[in-house]
Amino acid sequence: MQDPIMSKMTLLGHPIHPMLIHFPVAALMGLMATDCAYLLSDDYFWARASLWLAGVGALGGWVSGSVGLIDLIAVPRIRRLITAWCHATLAVMLLSLASLNWLFRIDSADALIWPWGIYLSVLTGLLITVTSNLGGKLVYERAVGVDIELATTDTGKQ
């Protein structure tokens, strides 16, 4: 088994980046659904929901990404992983798209949903899928942020 690579950004011994990333991912994936709901119903409620999901996804993603970036910079063993750099690069790309998508909606929540909003939402969703896969590889294949002793104690293995 590979030696774990411990995170510098922790709360009570648990890495913070994985704690924070779920909310922006859920918001940005939900954004695709609310955009489609608006296009199908023409109900302004869905455009307003999309505006909020885009904002939560973009801002939450930047907060989570900043924590991840600190680990990338501060932990030499993470810096040496090509997968970590690919994960970080794709994360910056998708957060840039998510931020642009949110900025398109600020003045008028429904003005640019078709075609740009839905296009950016779907592209962001696709990038989330690839970026999340790379993040999973960092955890499950490289043991980034995994406390092996705690994991084996919790499962009863020794």
Q: What is the pLDDT of residues 63-114, one digit of tens each?
A: 999 999 999 999 999 999 999 999 999 999 999 999 999 999 999 999 999 9
pTM: 0.88
5 in a structural domain: no
Query: Quick check: is 118 in a domain?
Result: yes
Does 3 fall in a domain? no
CA distances from 99 to 74, 128, 156 (A): 26, 14, 44
Residue 105 lies in a domain: yes
Write out the H or E segment, with its range, that includes residue 39. Answer: helix 16-41
For residue 132, is it within any domain? yes
Taking only the tens place, the pLDDT of each residue in 131-144 is: 999 999 999 999 89
**12 torsion bin: left (phi>0), alpha (psi -120 to 50), beta (else):** left
What are the helix and strand counts (H, E) for the chain? Answer: 6, 2
67 three-state secondary structure: helix
Query: How many domains are contained in the chain?
Result: 1
pLDDT in tens, 27-76: 999 999 999 999 999 999 999 999 999 999 999 999 999 999 999 999 99
Q: Terminal CA-to-CA distance of the chain, rounded, Å?
A: 13
Q: How many CB atoms neighbour CB 60 within 10 A? A: 21
Domain housing 144: 10-155
